[in-house]
Amino acid sequence: MAGRIPRDFIDDLIARSDVVEIVDSRVKLKKAGKNYQACCPFHSEKSPSFTVSQDKQFYHCFGCGAHGNVISFLMEYDRLEFPEAVEELARYHSIDVPREKDSGPSFSPAQKQQREDDYELLEKVARFFAHQLKHHPKSANAIEYLKNRGLSGDVVKNFGIGFAPPEWDGALKQFSKDSDSQQQLLDLKIITENDNGKRFDFFRDRIMFPIRDKRGRVIGFGGRVLENSDGPKYLNSPETRVFHKGNELYGFYQAKQANRTLHRTLIVEGYMDVVALAQFDINYAVASLGTATTAEHIQTLFRAAPQIICCYDGDRAGRDAAWRALNNALPYLKDGVEMKFLFLPDGEDPDTLVRQIGKEAFEEKLNTDAVPLSQFLFDTLLKTHHVGSDEGKAALRTEIDPLLAQIPGENQKELLELKATKLTGISRSQAQVKQTKVDNSQEFSQPNKHKQTHIQTMLRLLLEQPMLASQCPEVVPSLLDSRLFPGLSFLQEVHEYCLLKSNRTSGQIIEHFREHQNYKALAKLAIHDLSNNSDDLNEFINANKITEFKDTFTRMVDKQIASRIDELQTKSAFNKLSEQELQEFMLLLKERDV
């Protein structure tokens, strides 16, 4: 990355620039006394209130309040960030922008010229594809496809949508003048090369979406296959010397052009989603380019607008993508910015949904259905951590601490910390105590010297009297929650075996599980009852075992009910319970009080 632009250079650049000249090249000015006037380019008005002073090298709008110097105007009018505005002004004066050396190397003059040539060629290729959409003899299917998607000519023109002809060498013939130009086409992946050295167009018979950077320069393309055509649905430009997909967002340039001030941005998954939303005047959507939403994407969007809404499918893949975006966003959650998530119904995407319900209803969904980052964060963690148990609360606290530590906004961090404490009952300082991680499948094998766990008791009783499994049909271990009872899965295995083989002895049961990882622990439990009692005493003992077996299971069920009540109570303090959860809560309270 290039270093900082020296302040002396910026001061000199402003000194040699005439704000009237720069503004007049974009907005036609009229002399008005010693100043110049025009209708403001930053808001709609009928009579001019936008004034530019040549003496002060300053502009001001008495209508909307916009004001600044020549760099401010380029930033506002051309939708540029500060370094880009400085570079644009330097280009106007045909001078290079120097960089301080402490932040990395800058481009050499030859490299700069190469990049300029690349941008120029890519712009020509974009115009070529746009021309093919209108004039190629086989573009009718492409035009029909766009019409069927409800796109107007203005939207197609605004996004520069085009058509890659089906010929193998359409772009190759158009732009290949010599070996150097052909190599440039290859480097920028306008053409490609097979193992035999044959070169041909990379994009063929596809709807073409030019990808522009923040300054509006074409840096790559996305191509969508036509209906009933071969090949992958979307084909994107690979990484080149001017295109790095992890840094760029499709539609971001158009969003900045359409909105003087962006109040929010909407991240969607595909090119057509961005374009279809723009057709409905929802002109603040962007799409990542065949990759996950990166930290660079998040940083770019938070610089442009205080709110980001990620719009994903509601399936597992969509929620995984949302979780990755959340993690990438944490280091940029300064106070004053907000991130939300909207999950769409199965089979829907923004393109299809906005065509069904229209702009007003779609934006209402953004306002009412989008889930705040805090809620999505805790909802996701609550699916993997059982806060009805102390162990689950400790595990949740352990996982959330490093996430919260990344957040720079003190107020945002503090609010999330309060929710974490409310959910777990553990404050940040208490969470510093290291927790020993226990393997759930092995935990029951570490018996307390003085008292067995419920799982150990159940296993011991089954070993002593395998017929308990069939004698007590109300005992169903599969109804229990394994998060509450480590080792439950092994109890279920032994219980199922005893149901099928109730006439087996303890030794036979142990032998059956010889290759099991819990074999040694099971064998230790078998030595608990080796006394030689009379038949009458054995009958009495066996009756007591039935009672103990049932009572132990009942205590486990009671523990599970209490844990679930605790979990729902904890959750209700954080989020409103759903109707189903509320009904479950009331039923559990009745069950507990019986």
- What digits encode the pLDDT tens for the residues 336-374? 899 999 999 888 889 999 999 999 999 999 999 999 999
Higher pLDDT, 552 or 543: 552
Strands 218-225 and 191-193 come out as unpaired
| The two three-digit tokens of residue 127, written as one number | 């115009």
Q: Give the pLDDT of residue 529.
A: 52
Q: State the number of CA atoms in the 13 A half-sphere of 189 facing the CB.
A: 16
| The two three-digit tokens of residue 392, written as one number | 């689950």
Alpha helices (runs of H) in 447-534, residue ranges in sequence order: 454-464, 468-471, 488-500, 506-512, 519-526
CA distance 408 to 220: 34
Contacts 24+ apart (CB under 8 A), 145-148: 145/207, 145/226, 145/227, 146/207
Q: Which CATH code for domain 7-103?
A: 3.90.580.10
38 in Cβ contact with 45 (< 8 Å): no
At the second CATH level, the architecture of 249-378 is 3-Layer(aba) Sandwich (3.40)
253 in Cβ contact with 220 (< 8 Å): no
Question: Mean pLDDT for the chain?
Answer: 86
| The two three-digit tokens of residue 433, written as one number | 């105590």
In this prediction, what percent of the chain has a pLDDT beyond 90? Answer: 45
Taking the alpha carbons at both ends of the chain, their separation in whole angstroms is 69
Residue 252: closest CA among 225, 280, 201, 217: 217
Q: Give the pLDDT of residue 444.
A: 52
In this structure, the dihedral spanned by the alpha carbons of residues 113, 115, 121 and 124, taken in order and rounded to 10 degrees, is: -110
Q: Give the pLDDT of residue 38.
A: 94
Report pLDDT digits (tens) over 38-55.
Answer: 999 888 888 899 999 888
Report pLDDT digits (tens) over 370-411.
Answer: 999 999 999 999 888 888 888 888 888 889 999 998 998 888
490 in Cβ contact with 463 (< 8 Å): no
User: Nearest 5 degrees, angle CA 436-CA 441-CA 445?
Assistant: 80
Report pLDDT digits (tens) over 475-528.
Answer: 999 989 888 888 899 999 999 999 988 777 777 788 788 778 888 788 777 665
Contacts 24+ apart (CB under 8 A), 79-82: 79/214, 79/253, 79/256, 79/257, 80/214, 80/215, 81/214, 81/303
pLDDT at 255 over 90: yes
Q: How confident is the model at residue 540 (pLDDT cuts 50, 70, 90)?
A: low
| C-alpha dist (Å) from residue 9 to 80, 96, 107 | 19, 10, 18
218 in Cβ contact with 122 (< 8 Å): yes
Q: Is the pTM of this model over 0.85?
A: no
The topology (CATH level 3) of 109-236 is: DNA primase DNAg catalytic core, N-terminal domain (3.90.980)
CA distance 402 to 221: 38
- CA dihedral sign, ordered 147, 151, 157, 159: negative
Domain 443-586 has CATH 1.10.860.10: yes
206 in Cβ contact with 225 (< 8 Å): yes
Report pLDDT digits (tens) over 174-233.
Answer: 999 889 999 999 999 999 999 898 999 999 999 999 999 988 899 999 999 987 777 788
Q: State the helix-helix crossing angle for 519-526 and 454-464, rounded to 10 degrees.
A: 70
